[in-house]
A and B are shown apart, each in its own frame.
Chain A
Amino acid sequence: MRHIISILIENEAGALSRVAGLFSARGYNIESLCVAPTEDASLSRMTIVTTGTDRIIEQITKQLNKLVDVVKLMELSEGPHIEREMMLIKVKAATMDQREDVKRLCDIFRGRIIDVTASTYTIELTGAGNKLDSFIEALSEHKILETVRSGVSGIARGDRSLHI
């Protein structure tokens, strides 16, 4: 089962490696990890996507909570939530046909072209992971030069929130 775990962690040197080290040392899966400081500069928010049985997920949350730097933890996927991932994708767009088709697909997926050269388009696309996957698939006729994905970040719907 896929789970999304959000944590608030002290924004200190080495905090990220404590989390990453925990996953590798205990053999837990880590699908994506997304981290940046919050509005309170002393705290970072981390979103981890992982897979495992309920028992493993329970251990992961307990072990994360045990890290001295972890302030608070929420299993996002336990309740209604929104998840988003951002992708930057550079596609070959040299001929008129290519340029038109890529632009059309980009519009359908509500992406934005953010950089243009004579032979390439760079597109920004935000959404849930499967939407990004679909877009990549839709581009199968085209030559993808580069993709960059941010990894999943997420937030709970409604009143539920992760704060101290």
Chain B
Amino acid sequence: MELSGGEILVQCLKDEGVEFLFGYPGGAVLHIYDALYQQEGIKHILVRHEQAATHAADGYARATGKPGVVLVTSGPGATNAVTGIATAYMDSIPMVVITGQVATANIGSDAFQEVDSVGITRPCVKHNFLVKDINDLAATFKKAFYVATTGRPGPVVVDVPKDITDPNIKIPYHYPESVSLRSYQPVTKGHPGQIKRAVDLLLTAKKPMIYTGGGVVLGNAAEPLRHFVKKLGYPVTSTLMGLGSIAWDDQQFLGMLGMHGTYEANMAMHDCDVLIAIGARFDDRVTGKIAEFCPHAKIIHIDIDPSSISKTITVDVPIVGNVADVLNDMNHLLDNNKARSNKDAIDAWWAIINDWRAKKCMSYDRNSSQIKPQAVIELVHEITKGDAYVTSDVGQHQMWAAQYYGFSKPNRWINSGGLGTMGFGLPAAMGVQLAFPDEVVVCVTGEGSIQMCIQELSTCLQYGLPVKIVALNNRYLGMVRQWQEFFYENRYSHSYMESLPDFVKLTEAYGHVGMRIERVEDLRPKLEEAFAMKDRLVFLDIVTDQTENVYPMIAQGKAHNEMHMSPHCELPQDPERELS
């Protein structure tokens, strides 16, 4: 079978089982688009901005575990995609991004829509390729998918010059069945000796703590994790990225940890004597002050990426490997081990933790005359039975969604944790909704974030994507405002946005349903009405309390036991008083 470069490219995607291609056409990729036009099988989703193409592919990947695939043109097509590529890179999301490039003969000549895509994306991809010969095209795609999806996943860019896809040049097509790279051999199995050491250490613990992260979700390890947690009976906390791996209402789950983590999770981190970090990378939003992070603990760390180990926090028992494989090995040892954990000590530890829990750090004013953002999220949980796919943008609403939605399954909570990209939520929700047309997909956002990719309302109409947009509208860039209140003596520099659009009319102009909710008593009926519209996108513009803050909060550079608490819980608000 002789195919042109454009046809080869499309056929490679088919051979990889690609379902959706998120893209935007332009000069350098016209040959590829012509090949797409003449095929069936791959559904191309025409976004309204290349950033959204990458976020949509990213959302698809996070929800399904399969790589997201993007096609954009050269120059501005590629630069617009960079934010989405960096977002995926920071959260280790498998993605293959195809960027068009000017013809090989024109590379380096400052040609129209030329940019050094390989150079620009280098710091934010797992790897990238420039294809300079049509004979390398198929093998390059095989490598790209292999690198993107194995080891610690990540985005891979394939830059394809226009002449490579010339319809007049045809070569025999053969897609390689396997690939092996001498320079890339990711580890999967953990070292048995280290695993044994870790289990022995865990069983000696008096105040153990399990800290899980996004690696559990990415590595499909929720099941072995749940077995591990149950078997040990130890308390467990999760990072923002790992939510759902352990069900929110599991008795052993202490909630999220870190900057906006719960009192009990952060206090338990501070006081624990053995910590096991599973697929988590000790991000600064989790550790707080490095010098005072888990000051009494021996630390075990499971991670697939050796460079994550002892990067910021020195660990005592490092285990490099696939989280699921390592946990299965540990479970096997625990199931067959005669040694047991120290029951009296663990009971005493739980008694301390339960005292912390009793402080109810997540309390908020439930009798307010204004709509509280936390109440909105709790109600969304109730109406969707806690089983929706929830995407978010970045800011206060993101934290409230993480804190109050209550996730029971992995892959359901989809947000930009590492890069913190505003504008992520709506396009990510499109990717999820395409993957799961019959599921409820909610985009929790704010009036600031949603405007960063609001043009995608148009894409949602074209493909009939009934996403429910829950916009917590407090007329402020809320997280910025909160920091200005706490750390800049209420100088609200440019965090108030004037002249907001009428979101209801705007949504209607895009052909969807818009609703504005201003009064507490309207919240439940309107939300129920919106979620009952199964096949319509509904934009809920919800006017919330402008002054509400995200609690608890550990200020940057402070330790886990120095939290600002909500005025509505039974703890002193000020961390200084707390300590003295």
Interface residues of A (CB under 8 A from B): 9-10, 13-14, 17-18, 21, 25, 55, 58-59, 62-63, 65-66, 68-71, 164
Given A66-B305, A164-B182; 7 other pairs, CB 8 A cutoff: A9-B183, A14-B130, A17-B119, A62-B306, A66-B307, A68-B126, A71-B183
Q: Would A65 and B306 count as touching, CB distance under 8 A?
A: yes
Q: List 6 A-B contacts (CB under 8 A).
A: A9-B183, A14-B130, A17-B122, A62-B309, A66-B305, A68-B184
Majority DSSP secondary structure for residues of A touching B: helix
- What's the Cα separation between A59 and B314 when bound, in Å? 12
Give the residue name and chain of the A residue nearest to B125 (CB).
A68
CB < 8 Å neighbour of A10 from B130, B183, B311: B183
Interface residues of B (CB under 8 A from A): 118-119, 122-123, 126-127, 130, 147, 181-184, 305-307, 309-311, 314
CB < 8 Å neighbour of B182 from A58, A59, A63, A71: A71
Contacts of B305 in A (CB 8 A): 66
Using a Cβ cutoff of 8 Å, how many contacts connect chains A and B? 39
- What's the Cα separation between A69 and B305 when bound, in Å? 16
CB < 8 Å neighbour of B123 from A21, A58, A59: A21
- What's the Cα separation between A10 and B307 when bound, in Å? 21
- What's the Cα separation between A10 and B129 when bound, in Å? 13
Contacts of B126 in A (CB 8 A): 68
CB < 8 Å neighbour of B118 from A10, A14, A55, A65: A14
In the assembled complex, the CB of A69 is this many whole angstroms from the nearest CB of chain B, namely 6
In the assembled complex, the CB of B188 is this many whole angstroms from the nearest CB of chain A, namely 16
- What's the Cα separation between A9 and B305 when bound, in Å? 20
- What's the Cα separation between A71 and B311 when bound, in Å? 22
Q: Would B130 and A13 count as touching, CB distance under 8 A?
A: yes
Contacts of B147 in A (CB 8 A): 68
In the assembled complex, the CB of A6 is this many whole angstroms from the nearest CB of chain B, namely 15
- Quick one: given A14-B118, A21-B123, are A70 and B310 in contact (CB under 8 Å)? no
Q: Would A21 and B183 count as touching, CB distance under 8 A?
A: no
- The residue in A9, A55, A68 that gathers the most chain B C-beta atoms within 10 A of its C-beta is A68
Q: Would A58 and B130 count as touching, CB distance under 8 A?
A: no
- What's the Cα separation between A14 and B159 when bound, in Å? 13
Q: Would A63 and B119 count as touching, CB distance under 8 A?
A: no
Contacts of A59 in B (CB 8 A): 307, 311
- What's the Cα separation between A13 and B118 when bound, in Å? 11
Give the residue name and chain of the A residue nearest to B126 (CB).
A68
- What's the Cα separation between A59 and B305 when bound, in Å? 12
- Quick one: given A18-B122, A62-B307, are A68 and B130 in contact (CB under 8 Å)? no
- What's the Cα separation between A143 and B184 when bound, in Å? 50
CB < 8 Å neighbour of B183 from A13, A55, A62, A70: A70
Q: Would A55 and B119 count as touching, CB distance under 8 A?
A: no
Q: Would B306 and A68 count as touching, CB distance under 8 A?
A: no
Q: Would B127 and A68 count as touching, CB distance under 8 A?
A: yes
Contacts of A13 in B (CB 8 A): 130
- What's the Cα separation between A21 and B307 when bound, in Å? 17
The 8 closest A-B pairs by CB, nearest first: A62-B307, A68-B127, A71-B183, A68-B184, A25-B123, A62-B306, A66-B307, A63-B307
Contacts of B123 in A (CB 8 A): 21, 25
Q: Would A68 and B183 count as touching, CB distance under 8 A?
A: yes
Contacts of A66 in B (CB 8 A): 305-307
- What's the Cα separation between A119 and B123 when bound, in Å? 49
Contacts of B307 in A (CB 8 A): 59, 62-63, 65-66
- Quick one: given A21-B123, A68-B126, are A55 and B181 in contact (CB under 8 Å)? no
Contacts of B311 in A (CB 8 A): 59
Give the residue name and chain of the A residue nearest to B151 (CB).
A66
Give the residue name and chain of the B residue nearest to A8 (CB).
B183
Contacts of A10 in B (CB 8 A): 183
Give the residue name and chain of the A residue nearest to B127 (CB).
A68
- What's the Cα separation between A17 and B120 when bound, in Å? 11
CB < 8 Å neighbour of A58 from B118, B181, B183, B310: B310
